[in-house]
Amino acid sequence: MDESRIARGRLGYLRRIWSEINATTSVRDQAERLVRLHDLRASDAFQLGAAIIASRHQPAAIEIVCLDHRLTVAAGREGFAVVA
């Protein structure tokens, strides 16, 4: 149970500092473009689309963390610095 409590504590900390991007039309447009260009699942395309919007279309301006191979490849091709 200690591991669960530690994980919830970390999640609580991250929740206070992360930025959430809602699925707006611009995020959806990006996701549609991304699934045409990359081998991505819809949820990954939305995540990457939100990152593009969050970066104000300047992907080199932010770093993203990713453990999914397909999403890592697509993010790199889109210009993001990816921490795996």
In a domain, 63, yes or no: yes
Into how many domains does the chain fold?
1
**Res. 19 pLDDT band, cuts 50 70 90:** confident
Whether residue 50 is contained in a domain is answered as yes
Q: Is 5 inside any structural domain?
A: no
On whether residue 72 sits in a domain, the answer given is: yes
HSE, CB side, 13 Å, CA atoms: give it for residue 4: 1
DSSP 31-68: HHHHHHHS---HHHHHHHHHHHHHTTT-GGGSEEE---
Q: State pTM to two decimals.
A: 0.75
Which pLDDT score, from 0 to 100, does residue 10 have? Answer: 86
Residue 5 has pLDDT above 80, yes or no: yes
Is residue 13, in this structure, part of any structural domain at all? no
Residue 42 is assigned to a structural domain of this protein: yes
Question: Does 52 reside within a domain?
Answer: yes
